[in-house]
A and B are shown apart, each in its own frame.
Chain A
Amino acid sequence: MSSAQIEIQLIASLVAVACAIPGTFLVLRKMAMISDAISHSILPGIVVGFFITQDLNSPLLILLAALTGVVTVVLVEYIQKTGLVKEDTAIGLVFPVLFSIGVLMIAKKANDVHLDIDAVLVGELALAPFDRLLISGVDVGPKALWVIGVILIITIVLLLAFFKELKLSTFDKGLAASLGFSPVIIHYGLMTVSSITTVGAFDAVGAILVVALMIAPAATAYLLTTDLKKMLSLSILFGVFSAIAGYWVAHQLDASISGSITTVLGFLFLLVYLFAPSKGVFAVMYREKQQRTEVSLLTFLLHLKNHDEERERHVNHLNEHINWQKVRSKTVLDLALKNNMIEINKNIVSLTVKGNAFTTQAIDYIITNEDAQIEDMKDDFFLFRG
């Protein structure tokens, strides 16, 4: 592996970590799309910064860009608070306007500079190792690595310092305020960090990848856990895994690195979405199927309880009387037998003592809706959970 290849993976991994941290909070606060908005609306900040310094590499550009990012958030909040439009509409109203102002400023004043939209919005990870940082003539590594490294350190320091405040203001704004943390300050602090991360990262890896790295790992982690610390570590793990796996996919296909990383992020989400233990599609499908069977079981047990006459309780007549298809009546019978709720004697079904007690309990629960009575049944049956 050449040093350029290692540097690319290192830059991509650092960007992934730097994005995953604010990304987790954005996803939890249902503000994921704000990173997309920021990635566009900072353009006027960059243009103004360029007008002042005449230098595309000046740190002032990043600062002004981040400031425009915060302006975006303030405007979005302001419009949203009017109550006339929803949050996504407010985002959609603000960022195109700011972006267009940037485009117009370029068209008017900077047409002959390389400040076109492509150059600003489409960073190229593949070329990052060739843009070196020279300190008094000594090559100290790719510039992008330093920019991202500094941003990441600031992010981690802020995260450690304000973790409690961030957590509280994310989950319970009212409590945070009454305990004396200002949720507003924490909110804008988080937005400033997201804004700076977006700006710093997209020169290196491009805006789409930044948005993907902010949202996808956090959204994936959210499917697996509801513990904030676990969610943060999982987001970081998913981000770094996708960055490195994506790089090697690009290596195999000889394709765009940013594109491959984003694709891996998408696949990872899809996998977790399908197979997550409790929120995944298959888990939910299995649970719903179980619940349907159990509803049938209950119906069946009630039927038995209500009818003493033998012809109503004959195995072959179940289909007609409760109107089930054969398959389902077999499943239900098996389930009931397995749980010792019924016994079958000469094709006549009757409730056992346990079955009788269970049915009575279930009816009580349905009527009174009191949880305490069914605590011991929850382990066996989905129906009574949640």
Chain B
Amino acid sequence: MKKLITILVIFACFSCKNETKSNGKLNVVTTTTMITDLVENIGGEFVNVQGLMGSGVDPHLYKASEGDVTKLVEANVIFYNGLHLEGKLVEVFEKMGSATKTPIALGEELDKNTLIGSDYFASNYDPHVWFDIEYFKQFAKKVTQVLSEKNPENTDNFKANEAKYLAQLDELQKNIKATIETLPKEKRILVTAHDAFNYFGKAYNFEVVGLQGISTATEAGVQDVQQLSAFIIEKQIKAIFVESSVPKRTIEALQASVKSKGHEVEIGGTLYSDALGSTGTLEGSYIGMFEYNVNTIVNALK
């Protein structure tokens, strides 16, 4: 025990440097890349935004790193999706609320009656709400409201950024509706590896079929693949899609199954589902990601 204390004290002395770098700004921690992008747009240079998850990380399987501890310790506000998207992290956030820390589950603020129910997810709601731009706008409003409460002197800046961002989202909404209009109604069938796109389908009139979503079991079985390949042939679907945070193995199995029945189906491209693309690229922002997804889907299915 004495050794232990000695070692601890030695290490404590090694690292006595103060690591806070808040320079008076609000420290905001976010989970998924979508929410990080949103808060960066609204907070702008008036807050410090720290995202926990990188691009390509499946939020269900996220593992905290050492650096995340410091981010969480210094956080004043934490924005997360909730609806059990972030797994164990959600439980931790729920216990964290205090005078100096405010965790906000953006997904929980939405009207539950409009959400899609799901047997598969623990909360009984499908958590992939950001694929309906209307919900993402509500996220934006909530973020603005919370930031303004926490940092009243910048309220005007946040409001201005919100207005600008909402206008961009309206623009995005218009653009993708126009793009989708070019695709005949009967061709609007989206086949992917898991069921992240239900809100997308509901908002833009796509029939969405997820390979893992057909059965409620977590792994796609042989029968799922067989049924779905029959479905693809029957509806003459031209392309199926891989998701950035789900291994492409299952979708390739599906493609092979269709092929074995003498038909052809392309892999239409990789869609961003649970995370955005790398920062700096067009798909690294929510708006860029959405446009990329819609263009990929429409071009492949035409």
Residues of A within 8 A of B (CB): 1-6, 8-10, 13, 17, 112-114, 118-119, 122, 124, 126-127, 129-132, 236-237, 240-241, 244, 247-248, 250-251, 253-257, 260
Contact = CB atoms under 8 A, between A and B. Distances in A.
Contact of B87 (A4, A118, A237): A118
Contacts of B3: 236-237, 240
Given A113-B122, A241-B7, A1 B12 contact: yes
B178 interface: no
Contacts of B61: 118
A97 B224 CA distance: 28
A130 B92 CA distance: 7
B8 interface: yes
Contact of B64 (A3, A10, A17, A256): A256
A254 B66 contact: yes
B96 interface: yes
B124 A112 contact: yes
Given A2-B70, A118-B87, A122-B63, 13 more contacts: A5-B15, A9-B11, A13-B4, A113-B122, A114-B91, A124-B88, A126-B65, A237-B3, A241-B7, A244-B11, A247-B66, A254-B67, A257-B65
Contacts of A4: 69-70, 72-73
A4 B91 CA distance: 18
A127 B11 contact: no
28 contacts: A1-B11, A1-B15, A2-B19, A2-B73, A5-B70, A6-B8, A9-B8, A10-B8, A13-B4, A13-B7, A113-B122, A118-B88, A119-B87, A126-B64, A126-B68, A127-B89, A127-B92, A130-B72, A130-B95, A131-B92, A237-B3, A240-B7, A244-B11, A248-B15, A251-B66, A255-B66, A256-B63, A257-B66
A254 B65 contact: yes
B4 A17 contact: yes
A256 B68 CA distance: 10
Nearest to A156: B1
A250 B63 contact: no
A244 B8 contact: yes
Nearest to A254: B67
Interface string B1-34: 0011001100110011001000000000000000
Best-surrounded residue of B19, B69, B89 (most CB of chain A within 10 A)? B69
If over half of B's interface residues share one DSSP class (helix, strand or loop), that class is named, otherwise mixed; here it is helix
Interface residues of B, number: 30
Contacts of A255: 65-66
Contacts of B72: 4, 130
Closest 5 CB pairs of A and B: A126-B64, A250-B66, A254-B67, A4-B73, A1-B15
B66 A6 contact: no
Contacts of A122: 63, 88
Nearest to A152: B1
Interface of B: 3-4, 7-8, 11-12, 15-16, 19, 61, 63-70, 72-73, 84, 87-89, 91-92, 95-96, 122, 124
B95 A119 contact: no
Nearest to A14: B4
A255 B54 CA distance: 13
Nearest to B12: A1
A114 B122 contact: yes
A315 B89 CA distance: 78
Nearest to A1: B15
B302 to A, nearest CB: 40
Contacts of B19: 2
A127 B12 contact: no
Contact of A256 (B65, B84, B124): B65
Best-surrounded residue of A10, A126, A254 (most CB of chain B within 10 A)? A126
A257 B73 CA distance: 16
A301 B61 CA distance: 70
Given A129-B69, A131-B92, A244 B12 contact: no
Nearest to A114: B122
A247 B15 CA distance: 12
Contacts of A254: 65-67
A188 to B, nearest CB: 28
Best-surrounded residue of A112, A236, A260 (most CB of chain B within 10 A)? A112
A130 B64 CA distance: 12
B95 A5 contact: no
Nearest to A8: B69
A6 B92 CA distance: 19
Contacts of B67: 251, 254
A1 B7 contact: no
A2 B16 CA distance: 9
Contacts of A247: 66
Contacts of A13: 4, 7-8
A255 B66 CA distance: 6
Contacts of B12: 1, 6
B274 to A, nearest CB: 16
A196 to B, nearest CB: 20
B56 to A, nearest CB: 16
A54 B73 CA distance: 31
B96 to A, nearest CB: 6
A240 B64 CA distance: 22
Nearest to A248: B11
A36 B203 CA distance: 48
Contacts of B91: 114
Best-surrounded residue of A8, A130, A250, A255 (most CB of chain B within 10 A)? A130
A211 B19 CA distance: 33
